[in-house]
Amino acid sequence: KAGVTQTPRYLIKTRGQQVTLSCSPISGHRSVSWYQQTPGQGLQFLFEYFSETQRNKGNFPGRFSGRQFSNSRSEMNVSTLELGDSALYLCASTTGGGNTEAFFGQGTRLTVV
């Protein structure tokens, strides 16, 4: 059974650009959550999607957005990149039902220069 797949693994972008990250959850999992991890702030919750609907959103500016497709794959987009957006972006999938155990992908390391 394949795990959670995130692409790309590494990205280098320039300030002001935008970026799109992708996450394919474990087969059968319908919930995808996104997190930003930085050394100073730890794992910060960005948003959660279930059946193409955003059910919750963390305390991030509107430059951070996401969506989920009918096959449960999810994308997150960051527009007008800032230096402070440099981080490891992780997605986690769960069944979305009563089982809340989350499994993480390998992450996308974003560097903004």
Partner 1 sequence: QKEVEQNSGPLSVPEGAIASLNCTYSDRGSQSFFWYRQYSGKSPELIMSIYSNGDKEDGRFTAQLNKASQYVSLLIRDSQPSDSATYLCAVFHTGGFKTIFGAGTRLFVKA
Backbone angles phi, psi at 7, to 5 degrees: -140, 150
Tell the smallest beta-carbon distance from residue 77 to partner 1 (Å). Answer: 20
Q: Is 65 in the site for partner 1 (CB under 8 A)?
A: no
Backbone angles phi, psi at 26, to 5 degrees: -60, 140
Q: Is 48 in the site for partner 1 (CB under 8 A)?
A: yes
Strands 108-112 and 10-13: parallel
As a whole number of angstroms, the distance between CA 107 and CA 92 comes to 9
Which residue's CB is nearer to partner 1, number 33 or number 85?
33
List own/partner pairs for 62-70 with CB under 8 A and 24 or more apart: 66/34, 68/32
Tell the smallest beta-carbon distance from residue 99 to partner 1 (Å). Answer: 9
- Select the residue interacting with partner 1 from 27, 61, 103, 111 (CB under 8 A): 103
Judged by the rule CB under 8 A, the positions of this chain that interact with partner 1 are 31, 33, 35, 42-43, 45, 48, 50, 55-56, 58, 90, 92, 100-107
